[in-house]
Chain A
Amino acid sequence: ETGVTQTPRHLVMGMTNKKSLKCEQHLGHNAMYWYKQSAKKPLELMFVYNFKEQTENNSVPSRFSPECPNSSHLFLHLHTLQPEDSALYLCASSHAVGETNEKLFFGSGTQLSVL
């Protein structure tokens, strides 16, 4: 166990559905991240929160909406997704963004399929 828990592990949704991914970390970290991993592509950074403030949004479509109510919880709200959004969505945490030798700890991911 890495101390980062993601739910659900698997999610199948239609293009008109609304769903949310949840991430919780028990490591006392101050930074949380959403990454997307599609087949045969590198991990793509989507959003970064540092001390509850969003510090990076890498041109992610508005159908993905993050929420970070506190340093331990991170959500990714999904609505009107497209089939090409099917991927593994990984949450990660670290002590703080950009620290020298910061280390990321990942959750197990949510495997999302959009039909």
Chain B
Amino acid sequence: RKEVEQDPGPFNVPEGATVAFNCTYSNSASQSFFWYRQDCRKEPKLLMSVYSSGNEDGRFTAQLNRASQYSSLVIRDSKLSDSATYLCVVNMQAGTALIFGKGTTLSVSS
């Protein structure tokens, strides 16, 4: 089983749509969870951390279900500028480096 798995995508949606990305992780002891955004040919940038209680930042909502070893990212009212690859990132074990999922590509069209 891969350590961090994401929806393969790509997701092609019109402006204004709501889109959800899913991520599962293999290690139940994982402690830290994040979503990063990566634009084409650019470096990944932190989008948001994910907490057990869930968190929201404007149009973006991240959820975590530790029992199911699952995280999700929801983008509401999609904008053209949201087009990018969204990476699920997990700390698999205390004291070790973060592991990245393969990413899900989103394309928002007008």
Contact = CB atoms under 8 A, between A and B. Distances in A.
Interface of A: 2, 31, 33, 35, 40-43, 45, 48, 55-56, 88, 90, 97-98, 100-109, 111
B49 A43 contact: no
Given A43-B87, A103-B49, A97 B95 contact: yes
Interface residues of B, number: 26
Interface string B34-66: 101000011111100100000000000000000
A105 B89 CA distance: 13
Given A45-B97, A97-B96, A103 B34 contact: yes
Given A98-B94, A103-B49, A108-B42, A45 B34 contact: no
B31 interface: yes
Nearest to B88: A42
A102 B43 contact: no
Interface of B: 4, 31-32, 34, 36, 41-46, 49, 87, 89, 91, 93-103
A111 B46 CA distance: 21
Nearest to B5: A42
A98 B91 contact: yes
A97 B103 contact: no
Contacts of B101: 42
Given A107-B43, A108-B42, A98 B95 contact: yes
Interface centre among B46, B93, B98, B99 (most CB of A within 10 A): B98
A102 B91 contact: yes
Contacts of B31: 100
Given A106-B43, A109-B43, A101 B97 contact: no
Given A42-B4, A42-B103, A102 B44 contact: no
Contact of A103 (B41, B46, B93, B97): B46
